[in-house]
Amino acid sequence: MKRTLSGVSLAAIVAALLCGSVALIASLIVYALIDVTLGTVFASVFIAGLVSVAVGPLARNWREVVLLSLSVALASSLILLLGLFDQPRLAMPAVQLVSFLIAFSGAIVSVTSLLSRGVGESAARGPVTIVLLAWLTWPVWMSPAFGTSLGTWMIDHAFAYQPLMALNGAYHVLGDWSHSDIAYKYFTNLGQDVLFEMPPHAWHSTILHGTIAFIATALIALQACSRTPPKPSV
């Protein structure tokens, strides 16, 4: 495959433009429906995650992982960044959001890319999507267990790393999602029947996903080095 721009293929550049466009269009649709709210923040995470799964297998080296991750993360957060003109109080939360989405997208792109090398592109996307959705929604489907010892442990130790809870903590000025009528009636008993403390920021979650991205990207780079034939001696 022909390489351009220091090891980044033309296909990866096109993929970055396309996935960025898809993420941006999806974000625009969400913004048109609900403006800048906590739902917009949560939607940016789901958009970044699902687009990253789709494009991840196309990354064939660490440079392409970085390119695709940045494209998805910045496109997914652009609407919220533009919203700073109307709501400058969201500047610091926005810094946390962009940092998180870069780490989050990087983790998903690199893991999907790494997995696709062993099982193929289509087979890699399936399990990563399932794990992604389970990770993003466990405060909902684990609600019946929050009164147990396992549920208490998850609340005390895992909330700081759960993306939506962490970003809700960063965007606390937009409210608490567990206190909304729709959340309590249909999704979770957090904050009502089960008391918990919202994470004060999203940095713990950012570090976790950034570490996953670093390890998976390093493995991709090592694989590339091991496949590079040695240069003939002169």
* Residues 7-51: tens digit of each pLDDT: 899 999 999 999 999 999 999 999 999 899 999 999 999 999 999
Q: Looking at the domain assignment, is residue 234 inside a domain? A: no
Task: Please report whether residue 185 resides in a domain.
Answer: yes
The answer to which of 45-59, 79-93, 103-117, 124-138 has the lowest mean pLDDT is 79-93
Q: Which residue has the higher pLDDT, 135 or 231?
A: 135
Tell whether 127 is covered by a domain: yes
In a domain, 231, yes or no: no
Residue 156 in domain = yes
User: Alpha-carbon distance 163 to 234, whole Å?
Assistant: 53
Based on the structure, what is the number of domains in the chain? 1
* 108 inside domain: yes
Residue 231 pLDDT class (50, 70, 90 cuts): low
pLDDT band at 109 (very low <50, low <70, confident <90, very high): very high
Is 98 a member of any domain?
yes
pLDDT band at 93 (very low <50, low <70, confident <90, very high): very high
- Classified as helix, coil or strand, 190 is strand
Closest CA relative to residue 217, chosen from 228, 227, 205, 225: 225
Instruction: Provide the residue range defining the domain that includes 19.
Output: 3-226
Residue 1: per-residue pLDDT:
44
- Return the pLDDT at 228: 60
With b for 16 or more beta-carbon neighbours within 10 A and e for fewer, the 189-217 pattern comes to ebbeeeebebbebbbbbbebbbebbeebb
Burial class for 137, CB neighbours closer than 10 Å (0-12, 13-18, 19+): middle
Would you state the pLDDT for residue 148?
A: 83
Q: What is the pLDDT of residue 193?
A: 62
Above 90 in pLDDT, residue 217? Answer: yes
Report yes or no: 146 and 9 within 8 Å, Cβ to Cβ: no
Please give the pLDDT value at position 85.
Answer: 86
Express each pLDDT in 163-216 by its tens digit: 999 999 999 999 887 767 676 666 766 766 667 788 999 999 999 999 999 999
Compute the half-sphere exposure of residue 92: CA atoms within 13 Å on the CB side of its CA.
10
Supply the pTM of this predicted model: 0.91
- Asked if the structure places residue 160 within a domain, the reply is yes
